[in-house]
Structure 1
Amino acid sequence: MRIQFFRKSGKKAPFYLPEWKAEASKDVGFALSMIFSSMAGSISSRLNEAPNKHFLSFLEMLNFSLIPARPARAPLSFVLSEGAPGDVLIEASTRVSAKGSDGETVIFETEKNMLATPSKIMSVYSTIAEYDEIFDHSLSVNGRNQTDLFAEQDSLQEHTLYIGDEELFNLKQGTIDVFF
């Protein structure tokens, strides 16, 4: 903002002070122009914030409150080095860094202790309880095939009822009715 004011004042200077050369950077006029640009930029940015401050005051008057600040969260994956002897404890507050969308390094901390294991996923199953279905996605492990979880596939769910007991169903008379 300050630079914009400085450029505008430099363009207008020949009309108000024709004897002053705005390009000269080692005179009093240049210093005054920089001071003016800095003050004008500061005032302008404060005035631009006024509508938001008024809106927040309006919301407070209506007893609305802002959502309290929360720390950012991100899912993390830890991969053990080859030849790791066993499980590795990753303690709470362990610092982890990643590149942000702007290329800057972002630092995270783990919230809780966690255990990194050298185990590997061998099979993956998903269920849809509402439809009583079970799906096997094991071919997708390690990127062998692509799959969509919970998509229409052949369900592995079977319903079988076995009834058998030598004493319980040894009826001398009567019937047993089973309804489904």
Structure 2
Amino acid sequence: MSHRNQTSRVAFISGPIEQPDDYFALHYEPLILEAIAAGHSFVVGPAPGTDTIALQYLIKHVADPSSITVYMAKFQAEGSLAEEVEYYQRLGANVKVEGVTTGDRDAAMTRDSDYDILRYMPVQEQKVFFGDTYYPRVSATEKNERRRRGLPLHINHELVDIHWQNRQNLSASVKPSLSIRFRNWTTGKSALP
């Protein structure tokens, strides 16, 4: 949505559910304050962690709560978060119900915003923070960034690196053979003479 002018830009804030104590202050507050000073609006989801911290921060620091829109998937707005819908509306913020899944909701926030204020922990940082509970994955926050860039959503860099290394090791140990034949699956005949 880069067609908007600078003063009407919309930032999509997203980040991890679990994070170190100073994470938000270090990685989010300066960027949010800069966006507030520039008169930008904000879209954010209702997830625990960064989303709710950002909402509390915005409510304290934004002069006009109508510049905040909280996006919820249908199951959230009609279910466990129904009271939060009323709370945000009483504060003067907007609530928008989008999609069936949280992925649909996040895609709508990307669509309706101009840029992201986000950070996800690199693999090594995740391993240190989560310790034995670490598992390789692509976080929703990383998917938000990848969606904005038009990249595939479900590529885990650590697993891709392991797969690539295994492929490299395999190709280094296997010598090419001229006896390999390919079959055309529609005719069953060899594609090579």
TM above 0.5: no
Larger relative contact order, structure 1 or 2 (CA cutoff 8 Å, min sep 6): 2
Please identify which structure carries the higher helix content: 2
- Structure whose CA Rg is larger: 1
Which TM class, normalised by the smaller chain length? under 0.3
TM-score normalised according to structure 1 size: 0.21
